[in-house]
Structure 1
Amino acid sequence: MHSIIGLLSVVVMSTVTLGGITFGYDDLGSGEQTLVLVHGHPFDRSMWRPQTEHFAERGFRVIAADLRGYGETTVVPGKTLLSTFAKDIATLLDHRGADRFVLGGLSMGGQIVMECHRQFPERITGLVLADTTAEAETGDGRRNRAEMAARLLREGMRPYAEEVLWKMVAEDEAAAEHVLRMMLAAPPEGAAAALLGRAERPDYLDMLGRVAVPALVVVGTEDEYTPISDARLMHDRLPDSTLVVVEGAAHMPNLERTEEFNGALHTFLDSIAARTER
């Protein structure tokens, strides 16, 4: 069985209000190494449960939060730039006393991770970039995101969610059910704001060449949104990176192929710990 969704124990959930924004987050486990995970669009932190529980039970501290506009975190209509998401993450991690950490994200979450590195690289000990792209949005892409934002506000999440579900996942029914629940629960105003902000993202390719910490790049073979070529481009630009291609997974390999994803991530975290001990 590829996925462990449905076999999860109780997850501790908390909220805190900082700077007028209420954040929903999980802060699990303990240990010298902290792993921070950033979800994609239009999901919430529950997309990382197969990872938060797995690694918390194995001696890591794992933090995953709902981004602004998603899950239990405050919805702010309008436009949410990646830089705003990154500042929110820094604010929450300051509150939780997490000074140094491995930072990982999937899809939009991966782009937010790159923005975090642009803002506070000194706090990051490793990067995990899953099913994401470092390039700036194209002109067509900006128009498409603006149109989709307007559509979400007009129609709600269900038509979009049902349309894209089998692009998000390839064939895993349990993963598909989880992804559909997250998409249907996403507030349209928050999702639209993220789309509009993401359309204005900068190009991170040049920055990748200056990353001084190890990186793990992961992609599913069936991913139509961020294909293997995007992952290879990031892998080639990063000075110290490992590329893992997950067979049979689409855009959500952490849910579709949990064992493979967790295994690659565990190997990566162990390699960072070994470097620290030298």
Structure 2
Amino acid sequence: MSSSTIPATQYLSLPGGRLAFDDTGDDTGAGPGSTAHGAGAPVLLLPGMLDSRTVYRHLRPLLVAAGHRVITLDLRGFGESSIAWDDYSPAAIAIDALALLDHLGIERAVLAGNSYAGASVVKVAGLAPERVAGIVLLDAFIENLPQNAFQRLTVKALGAALVRFPSVWGYYLRKMAYPTAKPADFEEYVAGLVVALRTPGRKAATRAYAQGDSSPVGWSEAVSCPALVVMGTKDPDFPEPEAVADRQASALKARKVMIEGAGHYPMAEFPQATADALVPFLRELA
């Protein structure tokens, strides 16, 4: 498969709705259970809240070029997945990830989760260790530093504003989340996300994510697989990004990689640096 090829959207129907995903394995001649290219376990990439799987559009071809089968999944309520669900929690997303692996006939995979979905990959590793070759946290919230009363109030206020005014999300992405380097297609990408927030019925999903617990306590204790923590040095979501990365690395006995200058989405802002962190880790797992 050419690294520039965009895989076709596929769908997985579940009792609560329909999930959209893509799979480079289908374009490499890989059948069910295949690792594609013989490069070890397939890699499943989960985006953060209010985002879509296309946040990995610049990282995916780099991983494919390194010989990996790559699957990206739209979370409940966003991207091309259906909007209305009864549960948008990290635990529910973890069940979705396992369902997708079952659907594709994949026995073991490496799971990577950005932001809100970092907790989901940790949950999968704890629930089904035999299915997980390793996990990658990309600027994830799990094991976050405890918030004081003012920080909790601020987060709640921002979440409420986001539900009422989708333009707040655009402001965050344009002014804060990518502090150093913006992809060439950045403006089109952000505009699409803001429009998506205005889709009828999306407010309920947005509210659920904004008010959800993205940093559950205790989940890391059940993880025994190899783990990699990737964090941007300028992530605006954390007052002390490296301190959070250190907590995650300690809890998961993980390797830590800080990406200089990166904000909350290093895979889109610095895709090559992110690939340089992931590929050696994936090679060791293979």
Q: TM-score range by the shorter chain?
A: 0.7 to 0.9
Q: 1:183: which partner in 2?
A: 193
Q: Closer, same or farther in 2 for the Cα pair 1:120/1:145, shift >3 Å?
A: farther
2:73 pairs, out of 46, 56, 65, with: 65
Q: 1:24: which partner in 2?
A: 20
User: Which residue identity is paired with 2:242?
Assistant: I
The answer to whether structure 1 residue 168 and structure 2 residue 181 are counterparts is no
The answer to whether structure 1 residue 12 and structure 2 residue 8 are counterparts is yes
Q: Count residues in correspondence.
A: 262
Deviation at 1:243, TM superposition (A): 0.9
User: Which is further off, 127-136 or 41-50?
Assistant: 127-136
Q: CA RMSD in A?
A: 2.5
Deviation at 1:194, TM superposition (A): 1.6
Q: 1:194: which partner in 2?
A: 209
User: Which is further off, 190-199 or 144-153?
Assistant: 144-153
Q: Which runs of 4+ in 1 moved over 6 A?
A: none
Q: Closer, same or farther in 2 for the Cα pair 1:186/1:228, shift >3 Å?
A: farther
Query: CA–CA distance in 1 between the matches of 2:217 and 2:268?
Result: 28
1:48 pairs, out of 43, 50, 56, with: 56
User: Which is further off, 52-61 or 41-50?
Assistant: 52-61
Query: CA–CA distance in 1 between the matches of 2:179 and 2:189?
Result: 12
Partners of 1:165 and 1:179 within 8 A in 2: no
The one-character-per-residue Cα deviations of 1:157-204 (angstroms, maximum 9, x if unpaired) are: 2233214532211132326436524531443422222222336x5214
Q: 1:215: which partner in 2?
A: 227
The one-character-per-residue Cα deviations of 1:236-257 (angstroms, maximum 9, x if unpaired) are: 2223x21111111111111111
Q: 2:242: which partner in 1?
A: 228
TM-score by length of 2: 0.82
Query: CA–CA distance in 1 between the matches of 2:16 and 2:231?
Result: 36
Structure 1 portions without partners, runs of 5+: 1-6, 274-278
Query: CA–CA distance in 1 between the matches of 2:275 and 2:101?
Result: 23
What percentage of aligned pairs have identical amino acids? 29
Q: Closer, same or farther in 2 for the Cα pair 1:243/1:77, shift >3 Å?
A: same
Deviation at 1:119, TM superposition (A): 2.3
SS state at 1:270 partner: helix
1:75 pairs, out of 71, 75, 83, with: 83
Query: CA–CA distance in 2 between the matches of 1:208 and 1:16?
Result: 28
SS state at 1:198 partner: coil
Q: 1:249: which partner in 2?
A: 262
Deviation at 1:41, TM superposition (A): 1.9
User: Which residue identity is paired with 1:158?
Assistant: S
Q: Closer, same or farther in 2 for the Cα pair 1:110/1:73, shift >3 Å?
A: same
Q: 2:31: which partner in 1?
A: none
1:36 pairs, out of 40, 44, 50, with: 44
TM-score by length of 1: 0.84
The answer to whether structure 1 residue 151 and structure 2 residue 161 are counterparts is yes
Partners of 2:173 and 2:190 within 8 A in 1: no
Structure 2 portions without partners, runs of 5+: 26-35
SS state at 1:174 partner: coil
The answer to whether structure 1 residue 125 and structure 2 residue 128 are counterparts is no
